[in-house]
Amino acid sequence: MAAKTKTDIHLYTTGTPNGIKVSILLEELGLDYQVTAIDISKNTQKEPWFLEINPNGRIPALTDTFEDGKPIRLFESGSILQYLVDRYDKDHKVSYPYGSREYWEVNNWV
């Protein structure tokens, strides 16, 4: 098994389809990340600390350190998936090169 790539990624999620697909992509890309399980039955996603990450109060959400050294907050699974692929999939393990026919066709499914 290859070593995971060290990152500052922190995923806030629960076992829903939208949460799971982000976890799958993180694993496929071999990225090291932290997870905070959000208990939606207790409305954890509506607590003030979480609303600072995602003002919509929904999961999944993700934080990372951006290339400029400042934190970035992402929410909505499609947005998170696009960020992870654009930033971390330089070898196109799960994506296609920007501008290719396949790149645009895949975007239909994000």
pLDDT digits (tens, 9 = 90+) for 76-92: 999 999 999 999 999 99
* Residue 1 counted as domain residue: no
Helix and strand numbers, DSSP H then E, in the chain: 4, 4
Per the CB < 8 A criterion, the answer to whether 69 and 8 are in contact is no
Print the domain residue range for 94.
Answer: 10-107
Q: Quote the number of domains for the chain.
A: 1
pTM, two decimal places = 0.90
| Position 41 pLDDT exceeds 90 | yes
Average model confidence (pLDDT) across the chain: 94
- For residue 3, tell me if it sits in a domain: no
Q: What is the pLDDT of residue 109?
A: 81
* Residue 5 falls inside a structural domain: no
Q: What is the mean pLDDT of residues 16-40?
A: 96
| Residue 20 in domain | yes
pLDDT number for residue 25: 97
Residue 18 has pLDDT above 90, yes or no: yes
More confident residue, 74 or 5: 74
Per the DSSP assignment, residues forming a β-bridge with 10 are 34, 63
